[in-house]
Amino acid sequence: MSQKIRNIKLKHKSKPIRTTTIIFTLFGGYINPRGGEIRAGNLIKLLTPFGLSGNAIRLALSRMSKQGLIRSRKKGRESYYSLTKKGNEWMLAGQRWALERDYNPWDKKWRLLVYSIPEEVRHIRDTLRKKLRSIGFGSLSSSLWISPYDLKKELASLFKKLEVTKCVETFEAKYTGQRKGRKLTAKAWNIHGLENRYKEFLNKYSLLLSILKEKIKKKKMIDSGECFAQRFRVTAEFIDIALDDPMLPLELLPDNWVGLKAKKICLEYWEFLTPEVNKFVDSILKDGKSKGNQVKR
């Protein structure tokens, strides 16, 4: 692994990326397009630039294996990893949620959900809350949840899976209270926190992308391993934020919503660095060694 990759540091502080997000991003962007399987040693080499030790990576893989998300097989002394069917479904669902959703128009209706789940099965209640948040619902109180979108299909599947259909009621309503539009969404969702995360992402990667483009303009050499580290991280960081974004209609969000600009920078980064990144990843997967290729664009 090149010294540049080991030492790459970003000046801005940010929320740590979830390890599962990093691993899923690696498989979705790099491993699956190259056959879907990777040797354990190569996997560790591709992940260590992001502050993950070998032990931390193995622990994360062990947890994912217990969840049925990843499988391993032995070939001699070597271990090889690939996503299971469930793991691929999770990975693709995460990609669609983070990269393919749009801020859709609003029909001016609110969808309300209330539940009454006994205390003795509060673990189901806790799971329901997490799942509601994950599909974009916001909470006005502990048992009253709202969404501007019609999510009947998603809710039906969720209720069936958790066996809570008889414990839940859903409604469509028009809001007539004092908190209009954005004030209501600010109460039900942490819009301010989400906005700050997007702003930090945008400020950081707009600067780094400008630096890279300036290097290319001046015909300077750029390190393919550094390109991999930056492209991987920008993708993983964006996905980590977007997974928490309910993608509310733009009229319910602050003006000039920064999430749109952040996604644009992410996609621009992705396209700009792809050629160098592919060369670097291919060199790792070919012989397990980082060649630290110097590439001139």
Task: List the chain domain ranges.
Answer: 3-96, 110-173, 190-295
- Choice between 19 and 257, residue whose per-residue pLDDT is larger: 257
In the three-class reduction of DSSP (H, G, I as helix; E, B as strand; rest coil), residue 294 is classed as: strand
Q: Of all helices (H) and strands (E), which one includes residue 192?
A: helix 191-217
Q: Is the pTM higher than 0.95?
A: no
Give the separation between CA 48 and CA 50, rounded to whole angstroms: 5
CB 284 within 8 A of CB 42: yes
The pLDDT of residue 157 is 93
The pLDDT of residue 285 is 80
Confidence label for 47 from pLDDT (cuts 50, 70 and 90): confident
Confidence label for 16 from pLDDT (cuts 50, 70 and 90): low
The pLDDT of residue 15 is 56
CATH architecture of 3-96: Orthogonal Bundle (1.10)
**Which is nearest to 268 in space by CA: 219, 191, 202, 194?**
202
CB 135 within 8 A of CB 96: no
Neighbouring-strand partners of residue 75: 78
Across the chain, mean pLDDT equals 85
The DSSP 8-state label assigned to residue 251 in this structure reads G
Give the type of residue at 6.
R
The pLDDT of residue 102 is 83
Give the domain 110-173 fold.
Alpha-Beta Plaits (3.30.70)
| pLDDT tens figures, 57-75 | 888 899 999 999 999 999 8
